[in-house]
């Protein structure tokens, strides 16, 4: 097993173009002429065709080919014909629901654990963790289980931010993640800010990008992880 | 059946004291000397005792008695000994998980559909709707089902606000609820702002408090409901 994963917090940082900030990280993974299966099922208000086109355009300069899973007769079989998997953001519950329905959970996990590169952003990063219990998304549809792909042995919280709207009485992100650590003190959570990503190459794990991350685990709350840190201890 | 429900968006408005803004609405339901079973299971980082005390203090001026469900030997049996049910906010998934585990779902539904008054806020309002698929909370624990009490035949979204942090690329609340209406166009959603509440008395339904609400249903998106509106058409 030599997993190659790039788990991005978000598709955008500030008002930069779609996936633009990720291109320097992606060019190490996406070779010219390589074929990538794009999983569009986190998209709910965008058509899968439009979503696939948007990703293909954003990554065009890298010279890889992007194939929408929904455009193939059998997405599981299509995994045998590609060099890597891209899993886009949107609604995590919808994504996981469809991955189970289409029998893609075991298929993707097996491929990635045998070396197929995996790139996810937002919901696509959430489902790479142990479970989706630290997603920020609304549970608009009930998947058969919250168990996710488990490509890394911890929880991911993308779009990490502790910003609270002035006068609003909902919970901050850190309060939500603290609740998670109370319910499941043994599962570490890595919160990744927009602009940051987790890069796994075999047994090496690094927080990449120019933004920090935050670790929550048991009584450890919001422990900062500096950009570029080796976090292989989490594997 | 003559249901009496008060479903509050939140326990606080701006920086007012806990439940203070709700006292004028609550005094119509909580009679001096009446006994109320408080359901504390949405609380995760607060002890159930502390939570119960906080609610008892906040409602002290009304003269009702607040009994924590966790302090009774059998919460289902305790429903026979009280005049009403209070369901507090916190994490909706944890609340629903515990309501199922303790066999309180059918018990509460039966009592309320036979006239027992129900007061909920935040997560306690969410579980009064059809399902918890429009909660804002993190899915920190997996309940057996997303199906909720169904005391009203629609979805509730408490703490409604479309505020987005500057520069943040997550979804706005309206975008999240639009995703829900795409997945389930037949289920209406009422978003209630902090300060607003839904009051059901039998077949009459009113948006109460001094803040507006918003209706999402199918292609209807964020249709404003003025404070004080009769919304009985939703029943």
User: How many whole angstroms separate alpha carbon B199 and alpha carbon B206?
Assistant: 5
Q: What pLDDT band is residue B186 in, cutting at 50, 70 and 90?
A: very high
Averaged pLDDT of chain A: 96
User: How many whole angstroms separate alpha carbon A215 and alpha carbon A141?
Assistant: 28
pLDDT digits (tens, 9 = 90+) for A144-158: 999 999 999 999 999
Residue B188 has pLDDT above 70, yes or no: yes
Give the nearest partner residue to B138 out of A141, A163, A180, using CB atoms. A180
User: How many whole angstroms separate alpha carbon B205 and alpha carbon B188?
Assistant: 14
> Taking residues A81-104, what's their average pLDDT?
98
B139 with A133: Cβ contact below 8 A: yes
Residue A51 has pLDDT above 80, yes or no: yes
Min Cα–Cα distance to chain B from A1, Å? 30
List chain B residues with CB under 8 Å of A13. Answer: 169
List chain B residues with CB under 8 Å of A145. Answer: 142
Q: What is the ipTM of this complex?
A: 0.95
Is A122 among the residues known to form the active site?
yes
Q: Does B3 touch chain A (CB under 8 A)?
A: no
List chain A residues with CB under 8 Å of B137. Answer: 171, 176
Q: Could you tell me how many CB contacts below 8 A there are between chain A and chain B?
A: 114
The 10 Å Cβ neighbour count of residue A4 is: 17
A133 with B145: Cβ contact below 8 A: no
Residue B159 has pLDDT above 90, yes or no: yes
List chain B residues with CB under 8 Å of A167. Answer: 14-15
Contact A13, B169 (CB under 8 A): yes
Taking only residues 94 to 113 of chain A, the set having a beta carbon closer than 8 angstroms to any beta carbon of chain B reads: 94
A134 with B146: Cβ contact below 8 A: no
User: Which residue matches tokens 């909720």?
Assistant: B148
A134 with B138: Cβ contact below 8 A: yes
Residue A169 has pLDDT above 80, yes or no: no
Q: Does A186 touch chain B (CB under 8 A)?
A: no
The DSSP 8-state label assigned to residue A16 in this structure reads P
List chain A residues with CB under 8 Å of B100. Answer: none
Supply the pLDDT for residue B171: 83
Q: Does B134 touch chain A (CB under 8 A)?
A: yes
A140 with B194: Cβ contact below 8 A: no
pLDDT digits (tens, 9 = 90+) for B14-46: 889 999 999 999 999 999 999 999 999 999 999
Supply the pLDDT for residue A107: 98
Which residue from B157, B132, B147, B187 is spatially nearest to A139, judged by alpha carbons? B132
In a mutational test of the A interface, the residue from B179, B181, B196 whose CB has the highest number of chain A CBs within 10 Å is B179
Residue A1 has pLDDT above 70, yes or no: no
CATH topology of domain A4-234: Rossmann fold (3.40.50)
For A87-125, give one letter per residue: b (16+ CB within 10 A) or e.
bbbbbbbbbbbbbeebebbebbbebbeeebbbbbbbbbb
Residue A167 has pLDDT above 80, yes or no: no
> Taking residues B46-50, what's their average pLDDT?
98
Contact B180, B191 (CB under 8 A): no
pLDDT digits (tens, 9 = 90+) for B115-156: 999 999 999 999 999 999 999 999 999 999 999 999 999 999
A183 with B159: Cβ contact below 8 A: no
Classify residue B46 by burial, with Cβ atoms within 10 Å: 0-12, 13-18, 19+: middle
């Amino acid at each position: 097993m030599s997993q190659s994963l790039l788990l991005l917090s978000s598709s955008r940082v500030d008002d930069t173009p779609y996936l633009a900030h990720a291109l320097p990280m992606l060019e190490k993974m996406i070779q010219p002429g390589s074929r990538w299966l794009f999983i569009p099922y986190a998209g709910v208000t965008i058509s899968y065709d439009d979503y696939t086109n948007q990703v293909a355009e954003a990554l065009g300069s890298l010279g890889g080919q992007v194939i929408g899973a929904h455009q193939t007769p059998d997405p599981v079989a299509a995994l045998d014909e590609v060099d890597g998997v891209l899993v886009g953001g949107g609604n995590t519950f919808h994504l996981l629901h469809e991955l189970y329905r289409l029998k893609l959970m075991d298929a993707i996990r097996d491929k990635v654990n045998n070396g197929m590169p995996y790139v996810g952003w937002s919901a696509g990063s959430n489902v790479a963790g142990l479970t989706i219990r630290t997603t920020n998304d609304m549970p608009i549809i009930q998947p058969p289980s919250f168990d996710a792909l488990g490509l890394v042995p911890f929880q991911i919280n993308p779009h990490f931010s502790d910003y609270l709207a002035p006068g609003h009485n909902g919970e901050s992100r850190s309060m939500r993640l603290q609740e998670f650590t109370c319910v499941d003190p043994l599962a570490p959570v890595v919160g990744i800010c927009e602009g940051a990503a987790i890069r796994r190459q075999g047994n090496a794990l690094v927080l990449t990008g120019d933004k920090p991350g935050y670790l929550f685990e048991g009584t450890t709350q919001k422990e900062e992880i500096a950009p570029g840190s080796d976090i292989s201890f989490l594997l």
